[in-house]
Chains A and B, each alone.
Chain A
């Protein structure tokens, strides 16, 4: 079934550790995104990529990095996790071009202790 796969589903991590959240899509979408969802704050864009080889900063990029080596994969890395990064992380993708609906994975629930 076509869609977006995120891994892991959930993770508990000690503060200061490095963590990479994985995201793979098989829809051949050019654009991909990472969001975090926090209670009372909705979804906020962390980083995005319009096409393989390019990335851009969203609303809340500090403490996170991304790479886009190919069309299908868009990993999100926390170099040194802090408790404020406890959140649910969603990866999304869309066809290139304005006003295309974004399609979301089921999220990674991350707890930083």
Chain B
């Protein structure tokens, strides 16, 4: 049973436009959410996070929104750049899990020049 779901395997956007990556979760014990970015042949890199007590966190071009009642979060990238093309993973910490991070399957973002 997948507890963190990224239902879009891929997303393609035009340079300069907004990219919106979505993530749904089922475990109500998740209390901290993270987004990672992964280029081919490299390890995932931490991008941005949000605590369950907040509904928005912003860092430059990247903003994460959390809707707890819907168990949904999204990552907005504005404006999108070709260098943003990568696989994006949504991940969540379970406050009862002893530091174990649960990942979604990832979404491949392609930003076209």
Q: How does the 8 Å CB contact mask read for B42-65 relative to A, with 1 for contact and 0 for none? A: 111110010100000000000000
A42 & B105 in contact (Cβ 8 Å cutoff) = yes
Q: A residues 30-63 with Cβ under 8 Å of B?
A: 31, 33, 35, 40-45, 48, 50, 56, 58
Whole-angstrom distance between the alpha carbons of A48 and B95 in the complex? 16
Contacts of A103 in B (CB 8 A): 46
Tell me whether B106 and A42 are in contact (CB under 8 A). Answer: yes
Main secondary structure of the interface of B (DSSP, over half): strand
Chain B residues with Cβ below 8 Å from A105 are 43
| Docked-complex contact B43 and A107, CB < 8 angstroms | yes
Chain B residues, Cβ within 8 Å of A4 = 43
The answer to whether B49 and A48 touch across the interface, beta carbons within 8 angstroms, is no
Q: Of A40, A94, A99, A100, which one neighbours B51 at CB under 8 angstroms?
A: A99
Contacts A41-B105, A42-B105, A42-B106; A98 near B99 (Cβ below 8 A): yes
Listed in ascending order, the chain B residues whose CB lies under 8 Å from chain A are: 31-32, 34, 36, 41-46, 49, 51, 89, 93, 95, 98-106
A-B contact pairs, 7 of them (CB 8 A): A42-B89, A42-B106, A48-B100, A92-B43, A99-B49, A101-B34, A106-B43
Residues of A within 8 A of B (CB): 4, 31, 33, 35, 40-45, 48, 50, 56, 58, 90, 92, 94, 98-107
